[in-house]
Amino acid sequence: MSIFKAAIESIQHEPALAVKAREHLGRWLDDDRWDDLWTKIQNKASRHLMIGSFAETEPFARSFIREVLATKDLADLIDQWPTLHRDRFLRYADQAESLARFLAMPVARGMPPPVPNGPQLSLDLNAAAQMLREQATFQRAAGSVRVSRSDREGSRPRVAFMRMTSHQLLGMGGARLHEAVAVLTDIAFARRDTSIDQVRSALAPTTRSGRSSKRRKPKTRPRRSARSPRSRRV
C-alpha cells in the first residue's frame, strides 16, 4: 500500500469523520489515476517548498488530504460565502474586547478587583478577539473567490472547488497542475468527466473588467533618443 493510501485510511478510521468525507475518501482510494499525479505533486512541493524528503511522508499526505476535504466543504457552501459566520465572529470579537477593557480598568483604592486575575483574563480575551477577527478575514477571503452567478446543473460548487484547489496546488508546487485539479474534482463530485479545458475555463476571469484587463497589454512609451549636451554660449 502506498503512503498516500495509508494516509487516507488513517483519516477514514477517525470516528468523528463526516459521512460525506468518508465517501469522498473511498472514491479517492479507488481512483487509479491519482498515484502518478501525487508523485508529480510531491516532486514539485519538495523543490518549491524546500522540504526535501518530508514531501514523501504520511503526515504531509494527511495534511494535503485534509485541505482538500475542507475545500470541498467550503465549495458546497458557496452561496453562503458572503455572510458565512463572518458577522458572528466580528460581533463576538467586539464583545470580548469590551469585556477585556472592563477587566483592565484600574480598581478604586481599597476595592477588590471585579474578578480574580482580571489583567490576565483581559489579555486572554484580547487574544480571543484577535483570533475571531482573523476568522472573519478568512471568511471574507473565501467570499472573494470569483465564481460566475450562472449555475448550470450545480456547476458553481465544482467551479469554486477547481479554483481553490488550483490555488492550493500552485502554492504547494509553484505551477498550475490542471490534470491533478481535474482528477480531484472528479473524486470530490463523484464523476469522471472533468477535462483540462474545463479547469482552464474555471480559472478564467468571470467579470467583464477581469476579462478586459487580461486582454489589455501594458502600454510602452517610445524610448527617447539621448540628447546631446547643449554647447555653452561664449
pLDDT tens digits, 135-144:
676 555 554 4
C-alpha 145/C-alpha 154 separation (Å) is 17
Q: Percentage of the chain with pLDDT > 70? A: 74
Q: Is 234 contained in some domain? A: no
Give the mean model confidence (pLDDT) for residues 55-67.
Answer: 93
234 has pLDDT over 50: no
Please give the span between the terminal C-alpha atoms of the chain, in angstroms, as a whole number.
91
CA–CA distance from 46 to each of 40, 127, 208 (Å)? Answer: 10, 34, 38
Domain extent at residue 170: 3-205
Q: DSSP of 64-115, one letter per residue?
A: HHHHHHHHHHHHHTGGGGGGSSHHHHHHHHHHHHHHHHHHHSPPPTTPPPSS
Residue at 216 is within a domain? no
Q: Using one digit for the tens of pLDDT, what is the confidence trace for 8-22?
A: 999 999 999 999 999
Share of the chain above pLDDT 90, in %: 42
Q: For residue 55, is it within any domain? A: yes
The Cα–Cα gap between 233 and 231 comes to: 6
What is the count of structural domains for the chain?
1
What letter does residue 54 receive in the DSSP assignment? G
Predicted confidence at residue 210, as pLDDT, reads 47
